[in-house]
Structure 1
């Protein structure tokens, strides 16, 4: 039960249960309703998310920047990703630096997020190809990592020329399979499962795979 004063000019005091009862009484008594205290509503708390602001804005910013930089028209994110992969390494580095300034984060965060997470959505799912890649590895006549990668990439490019494979996922799978096969040891040195993919590994892997892929075309 709460006590309400209808307005400062009225001596009428009500002991009532709800604002509705006050409103109905004031109307029937011809009294103008003054400021009536009501229960303060709780502030709306946005749902918690692990995604940072720059991650939410990544796709739009990436497409806008590629549209501005591309010599030919870029209409979709898929086209933008394909165009980005074909860029020179120095151009890519400049791209991340400029995009970082736009999104208010670091170019390393953008670089790693693109290569390790975001770009996967534009690449083929590796699952259906793992058995086939394992077969290529078994028939491989050499144990040098670069030569093995060349064989696998040449096979994938020849058989699936229109498909885009995620370089890190492909490299990690090949490296893992080589580490499990005595034929390749100690040539392969797969990182521990808990070891995160660092920028250095990403850059070296991407550059190596791109160079090998271009030599197979």
Structure 2
């Protein structure tokens, strides 16, 4: 029980340390702020800080409860971990229930961001840099309508859109990738969602083991 919660505490410490570094350091702010689409880029970072802090507290309660054989600490650990598990299950149910809605929001967001490719503002320039790197890696061009999304900025993205082969498209006399990056982003999300589900399932198993260990120890201490 002690070693289980010690690892739990270490994981919380790492999450909290990484989130705080991203929140306060110059390099971290540049990473998070790049490609900002009008929403607060630090919302996810703030959530990670809260999650890391909660995991640290729960790990501390579990460790101290196991070493000192404190039923109060073990009970607090059990309740906290149970609440996290319930919230995790609820989040999974809501995610499955609103899957179509999330797809619609994703389509609308990316379609709106396609307008940034033809603009010349500083925000648009940052987004364009990220898009050029994405196009080069995933062999796609544009977000919604292909290379035409770039408008007068096309010469800057021309190299990342260039396609070699017989199945290429054509834009202004250049061979470009026929697939838009909107399709690539959707495919990337669908491929990685399996990993996310696997991680969530693994965390749920660990949380259930923690609940069982803490309750067994709680009962053993009470029977002494």
Please state which band the TM-score falls in when normalised by the shorter chain.
under 0.3
Higher helix proportion (structure 1 or 2):
2
Please tell me whether Structure 1 or Structure 2 has the larger radius of gyration of its CA atoms: 1
TM-score w.r.t. structure 2 length? 0.23
TM-score normalised by the chain length of structure 1 = 0.23
Higher relative contact order, chain-length normalized (CA < 8 Å, sep 6+): 2
